[in-house]
Structure 1
Amino acid sequence: MLQSELDGKRVVVALGGNALGETPGEQLKLLENTSKNLAHMVKEGINVVVTHGNGPQVGIIDEAFEVASKDKDAQVPPMPLSDCNAMSQGYIGAQLSCTLRNEFRRQDIMREVANVPTHVVVDADDPAFKDYEKPIGAFMTETEARVFAKATGYQVREDSGRGWRRVVPSPVPQDIVELETVRDLMEDGCVVIAAGGGGIPVTVRDGVHTAVDAIVDKDLTSAILAWRVRADILVILTAVEKVYLDFGKPTQKALDAMAVSEARAYMEQGQFAPGSMLPKVQACVKFVEAHPGGRAVITSLDHAAAGLRGETGTLIVADEK
């Protein structure tokens, strides 16, 4: 795709965990590099909303409050997971806003940045509140995880071959509360940071919003956001340049493109790891099914601009009728 063809396009970019660190200092350094790549995308002339994960960060915040609250001398109250989620949105968004503004200044890009703490509506009866599966916090060995679970009463689970982590409910997002705000800022030309960590989940009854302790998958929220703002492209950035079949095996094969029906067949075959590539492909499928005129791309952060132009990455599109 030529640069001129991207001018004015609406794009939602979902940052993977490789764009963030596990400490504020490490995160800031990584976000400086992330902002360089995002700036290259913005230079293409797009109107962009950036979403991001918060798995390690929200877990660290939650654990810090839990430890501090047990110290009677510290006088620190326990903090609900929903509020830890909000805190992670705030400080990740603040760092990303700052690094983006600095990079825009270096590249002479005249764009404003707006960080919007975001709530997402979930169903109070979602089965996820009974079957915990969303990993958060630091990685542990199995022994450490079992000791941690016994001491805290939390649930733990092995995470995609990378180690053990705490798991929490992950209900399916239904809607985005601040949607109109995000859309208005996007239409005004702002680079918007929204739905951090998948958003703060709330249930709604009789018009009353109530925060719940859970973490929503940021890729699924990104898909809804992209559909609701009528984005032309959803870009999900991860650690690899393309999606692979038989990933990590001698028969590994990169995919340049998938139609929705092909993606569903691969998912049924178990080609994509849960907690890793699977939710990203699921999110792309949901987006293009809801918005058949849109396209979804999965690629790495370093190849973000090229993926946006259609030069690399894995493209997911609706089936031809």
Structure 2
Amino acid sequence: MRVVIALGGNALLKRGEPMTAETQRNNIKVAAQAIAPIASEHQVVISHGNGPQVGLLALQGAAYKPDEAYPLDVLGAETEGMIGYMIEQELGNLLPFEVPFATLLTMVEVDGDDPGFKNPTKFVGPVYEKADADRIKAEKGWVFKQDGAKWRRVVASPAPKRIFEIRPIRWLLDHKTIVICAGGGGIPTMYEKGADRKLVGVEAVIDKDLCSELLARELGADLYIMATDATAVFIGYGTPEAKAIHEANPDAISKHSFPAGSMGPKVDAACQFARKTGKSAAIGALADIPEIVRGKKGTIIDGKFAGIKWHS
């Protein structure tokens, strides 16, 4: 079975944790321990989020003059290498030596007229108190939105159109390679208007779950998993009436609304994959990946289900 696993940026660097290399590596060790048994039995492709990481690099870049700071597409490429390196190393420490790995810098095309550029929604970087967010907004002109009880920077999140490296990804899979790609939704690029096929970077962060859904679909994946810091998709999350969804038909779960900056894109991506492929998509906790593959934990979305079934 071919399985695409999208590791959430907040699963690799949990909310409120110090944004250090050691913290991130410890979380990636947890991811590796969950993925290694799956990689021993199935063909695995790994993508990952980069919101906290690219936000940290942007903060570091703020120490430079405005015209010297690196744009978000370059920072996205940096995070693909950084996170991919750690995933390769930690998985390699658990799997047989002869298992090959490859981390691919992955460029993804977006539309310059995408409405996402007019309404930034993608959270990046750490959380702030309201007063700190207002101060940084005045200093740097960044856009902030509320994320739970805190505030975070948001940037444009256009939809992915095309994954440029899809052919080499397929070639690597044909040679039994565990591929780490499309990190952070890929490096946002577009063709410059008025130019003859000139590809340029874009100041944006593509949603990792929607890009990974496109990746899973184009690779003919049998299962698409989005690993996050939540054990399942909840109705009434954070309330005494909260209920965890175990199985859901895409039409049934789409009748409910979920936060646009967190669970919403995951549910949308899962429903899109299930509808377009007739296969299963799943959302759940990083440590539960083996049980998610078995259909025991997380939220499984598939067209063959009738309505919604809840976890007990």
Q: TM-score, normalised by structure 2?
A: 0.91
Partner residue in 1 for 2:160: 173
Could you report, residue by residue, the CA deviation over 1:201-241 in whole angstroms, capped at 9, with x for unpaired residues?
11125432211010011000010000000100001111222
- Distance between the aligned counterparts of 1:121 and 1:251, measured in 2? 41
Residue 300 in structure 1 maps to residue 285 in structure 2: yes
- CA displacement 1:247-305 (0-9 Å, x = unmatched): 22222222111111102112xxx2x222121111111011112212x211111111101
Equivalent AA in structure 1 for residue 162 of structure 2: D
Q: Determine if contact 1:139/1:162 at 8 Å carries over to the other structure.
A: no
Which of 254, 262, 268 pairs up with 1:282? 268
2:50 to 33, 37, 54: 54
Instruction: Give the corresponding residue for 1:3.
Output: none
Q: Percent identity?
A: 35
Query: What is the DSSP-based 3-state SS (H/G/I as helix, E as strand, rest coil) of the residue aligned with 1:120?
Result: strand
Give the CA deviation at 1:78. 2.0
Aligned residues: 298
Alignment equivalent of 1:207, drawn from 173, 189, 197: 197
1:157 equivalent in alignment to 2:145: yes
Distance 2:181 2:149 in 1: 28
Partners of 2:300 and 2:240 in 1: how far apart?
A: 23
Give ranges in structure 1 of 5+ residues lacking alignment. Answer: 1-8, 71-75
Measured against aligned partners, the alpha-carbon deviations of 1:137-195 in whole angstroms (never above 9, x if no partner) come to: 11111110000000111111112x14111111100111111011112112211111001
Would the aligned equivalents of 2:10 and 2:52 in 1 still touch at CA under 8 Å?
Answer: no
**Structure 1 residue identity aligned to 2:28:** L
Q: Distance in 2 between matches of 1:320 and 1:133?
A: 31
Q: Which residue of 2 aligns with 1:66?
A: 62
Separation of aligned partners in 1, 2:30 and 2:232: 20
Per-residue CA deviation, residues 113-141 of structure 1 (Å, 9 max, x unaligned), is 11011111111100111111111111111
TM-score, structure 1 as length reference: 0.88
Q: 1:165 to 1:18 in 2, by over 3 A?
A: closer
Between the aligned partners of 2:197 and 2:177, the Cα distance in structure 1 is 30
Which residues of structure 2 form unaligned runs of 5+?
A: 14-18, 307-312
The root-mean-square deviation of aligned C-alpha atoms, in Å, is: 1.8
1:84 maps to 2:75: yes
List structure 1 runs of 4+ shifted beyond 3 angstroms. none
The corresponding residue for 2:300 is: 315
17, 23, 26: which one aligns with 1:26: 23
